[in-house]
Each structure stands twice: as C-alpha cells, then as structure tokens.
Amino acid sequence: MEQWLYVMFIEKTKSYNKLTKAAVERHVANLRALDEAGHIELAGVFKGYPGVAGMYILKAESLEAAEELCKREPLVAEGFATYKLKALQPANQENNYLL
C-alpha cells in the first residue's frame, strides 16, 4: 500500500507583519489540535528563507483532506499567510526506498 504525506508550506502575505499575539495563540492551538488528532508528522519554522513562515508535514487520508486542514490554519484563514500543498511519498526501508 502506498503511503502519502502532505507538505504544507506556509508563506507570508503582506499583512504577516501585523500578526498579533492572539493570532499566534490561535495558530499554536490549531497546531496542538492537529498533533493530538494524529495529523502532524513534523512541523517547524525555516531560517533564511524570506517569505516562508514554516511548514507542516501532515498525515491525512487524501490530498483533499489535507487541503481542508490547511484551509483551517488560522494564519491562512485570517489572511496572514497563504500556503502551498504538495503530496510526498516517503522513501524508507519499509517500501524499499520506492524501488
């Protein structure tokens, strides 16, 4: 069975510099909820990539389900960020590195 993960790149909008503490708290609450629901494989921020705030690697049943999770991200829903979503098929020992 193929396994897929979904990579969400969170990109800053022009209003990102108006980000409030309350918005960050909503973002963290969403991240915590996603993690508790088993949707987070990895999440973090980037250093040295202007315009990119961070990334989630999501576990979801489908690209469409991952898309719904992305749309609910408070930074996106409130206009502080946009996102790009890409499907990733992991290469690992379990699947013989996709050979």
Report the SS3 class of residue 56: strand
Average pLDDT over residues 65-77: 98
pLDDT at 1: 67
Task: Please give the domain boundaries of the chain with CATH numbers for all domains.
Answer: 5-90 (3.30.70.1060)
Q: What is the structure's pLDDT at 2?
A: 83
Average pLDDT over residues 56-78: 98
pTM confidence score: 0.93
Mean pLDDT for the stretch of residues 54-81: 98
49-60 average pLDDT score? 96
Position 38 pLDDT exceeds 90: yes
CA–CA gap between residue 51 and residue 11 (Å, rounded)? 6
